[in-house]
Chain A
């Protein structure tokens, strides 16, 4: 099974 990653796991808030 695959889990969907989130964008916030890669890019940080500015």
Chain B
């Protein structure tokens, strides 16, 4: 039996909006650790890893490990029926082919339950080793989203280069070129507005902007985003989910032939 009660139900709504463009069907895995998901996009170029730790739920009961296959557009349809201030409870019985989403209004005067059919999904689980990155950039998530959106009106790919001068986002297209440099800036009023660059050595990598733009659907989950770069690894674009966990997007680079 599985029963997860999340007082801040809007978090689950935001998580679904963050990943449903990238991934169509996925297995949600429940264990004593928490509620997690790992899935690749259909082209196997990007991977999303989500973790919502059990401690972040008001009530978390998971008697045994359970993997629930869901169509993310259908989950999103269900969760969009929950109010932004609703408490969301996810329930499933062992061996059941359905999952129930229960929505309670904050003052308990409205209770709704939506039952959704589960599906069998053959998914590959990948081992993601811990790695040392050549450069780690932390910046406001809204700023990163703005840069990806702006550059995608000029070109299809972004070159992200980190040097001691800062982080540079560059693109080129038929109409011209664009370069946006963000310098390290720790002297801001609020820590979430800072741009912090930890560089072991300079790094420059090329990525498809289409995927980067898709990752920025997670912007409402966190004020900051962390971009970790190494020349021999996929980039990691991480949005921390306050007190609960994270959503991490991995994207394989484009390389010169």
Contacts and interface: CB of A to CB of B under 8 A. Distances in A.
Contacts, number: 57
Interface size class of A (residues with CB under 8 A): 10 to 19
Given A11-B126, A14-B125, A14-B127, A6 B252 contact: yes
Contact of A7 (B44, B157, B254, B257): B44
Contacts of B234: 5, 7, 10-11
A3 B252 CA distance: 10
Contacts of A4: 43, 45, 208, 252, 254
Interface of A (DSSP majority class): mixed
B44 A8 contact: yes
Nearest to B46: A7
Interface of A: 1-14
A4 B45 CA distance: 8
Nearest to A12: B127
Contacts of A5: 45, 234, 252-255
Given A4-B252, A6-B252, A11-B127, 14 more contacts: A2-B254, A3-B255, A4-B45, A5-B45, A5-B234, A7-B46, A7-B250, A7-B252, A8-B126, A9-B252, A11-B126, A12-B127, A13-B124, A13-B125
